[in-house]
Chain A
Amino acid sequence: MRGIIIVLSVILAACAPPPLPFNATEITGVSYGTQLQIPDTQGKSRSLADFSGKITVVFFGFTSCPDVCPSTLMRLGQLRKSLGADGAAVQVILVTVDPERDTASRLDAYVKNFDPSFIGLRPEPAALESVVKAFHAIAVKVPTADGTDYTIDHSSTIYVYDQNTRMRLIAQADMPIEQLAADLRRLIADS
C-alpha cells in the first residue's frame, strides 16, 4: 500500500504542469541591467530601489525618434490602461540615448505627452556609453542624408523588473500589448 502511494505521488509530481512560459523572454538572474543610476528630469539621481514595489518597464529612446519610440511609448501607455487598477503599479521609464539634444525639460514634456506617469531619465552625455553597455544595449549616431542632423540606431528592447526590482523579462518593442499585459499581471500576482 505504501509503495502504491509513493508511486502515485511520483506520478502526480511528474504530471504537475511546469509553470507556463512568459510571452516575453524570461531572463531572471542575468547579470546585465541589474542596476541603474541615472538623473531624472529634475536632476535627481534615480536607482532601481526608488521603484521598489512597482513593476518597472525600461525602454531606451530619444525625443527626435519619429517612429518606433513614440509607437512603443504609446503602447506602454495602453499597457498601463489595460491593466486597470494594477496599472498604477507599473512605472514606465524612458532612458534617453540622446542627452545632447534631449534637455531635461524636453525629455520630461516628451514622456508626459504619452502618459503623465512616465518618467524620463537622462544620463550625462559622458555617461551614456556605460549606461547603454550596462544593459547590453547599443546606441549609435547615424547622420541624416545632408549631414546636418542625425538619428540614432538603438536597442528597442523593453526591460521589465518585478516589484522586488529584479530584472525578469525582455520583450521586443512590437510585442502585442495583451501578451505583455498578461505577463505583467503574473509578475504582480507572484509578488
Chain B
Amino acid sequence: MFVYVGIASAEPNIQIENARTRSTAPGQTVSGGYMTLINNGPTADRLLSVSASWASMIEIHHTRMDGGVMRMREVQGGVPIPANSRVELKPRGMHLMLMQLAAPLEAGHSMPLLLQFEKAGAVKVSLRVEAAGQMP
C-alpha cells in the first residue's frame, strides 16, 4: 500500500526570488505580481496556479506589444520551468494578474501567496509590496 511514485520528484527543487508587487490606490482592484522562479532540480516543473486570500482571482498573463498596442492574455497550461533554469515574471512580460483585491496593497507590506507547481507541489511565497511610483 506504499506508493512511492512522485516522492522523488516532490523534493523541493523550486526556489523563488524577488517576489514583488506594486502598491495600489483605494478603489484599484488589480495589481501585477512579479518574481524569479528558479528550478534547481534535474527535472522540469511547471507553475500551474497561484492563490491568495487577499486576491480572490489570480491569473498568469503574458503582455505582448503588438504594433503599439498592449495585449494581455492568460498563459495557457501554466508556466514551464525547465530543469536547472530560471524563469522571470517581469513587467511587460509574463506576470501574475492579481485581481479582486480585498483591500489596497500598501508599500512596505508583505503579502502571502501560494504557488502550485506540477511536481514541487505547493510553495509559499511572500510578495513584497513596493511603492507604485517607484517600481518599474
Binding site for B on A (CB under 8 A): 63-68, 70-71, 73-75, 77, 103, 105-106, 109-110, 112-115, 138, 142, 144-146, 148-149, 151, 153-157, 172-174
Contact in complex: A103, B133 (CB < 8 Å): no
Known contacts A66-B61, A66-B97, then 10 further A-B pairs from the complex at CB < 8 Å, ordered by chain A residue:
A63-B25, A63-B27, A64-B30, A67-B32, A68-B63, A110-B27, A113-B133, A148-B57, A154-B69, A156-B69
Asked if A68 meets B25 with Cβ closer than 8 Å, knowing A74-B132, A74-B133, the reply is: no
Asked if A106 meets B70 with Cβ closer than 8 Å, knowing A67-B92, A70-B132, the reply is: no
What are 18 contact pairs spanning A and B, CB under 8 A? A66-B98, A67-B32, A67-B92, A68-B70, A68-B91, A70-B22, A71-B91, A106-B26, A106-B28, A109-B25, A113-B23, A114-B132, A145-B59, A154-B69, A155-B68, A156-B69, A157-B68, A172-B68
**CA A156 – CA B68 in complex, angstroms?**
6
Partner of A153, one of B71, B91, B92, B134: B71
Partner of A66, one of B25, B31, B133: B31
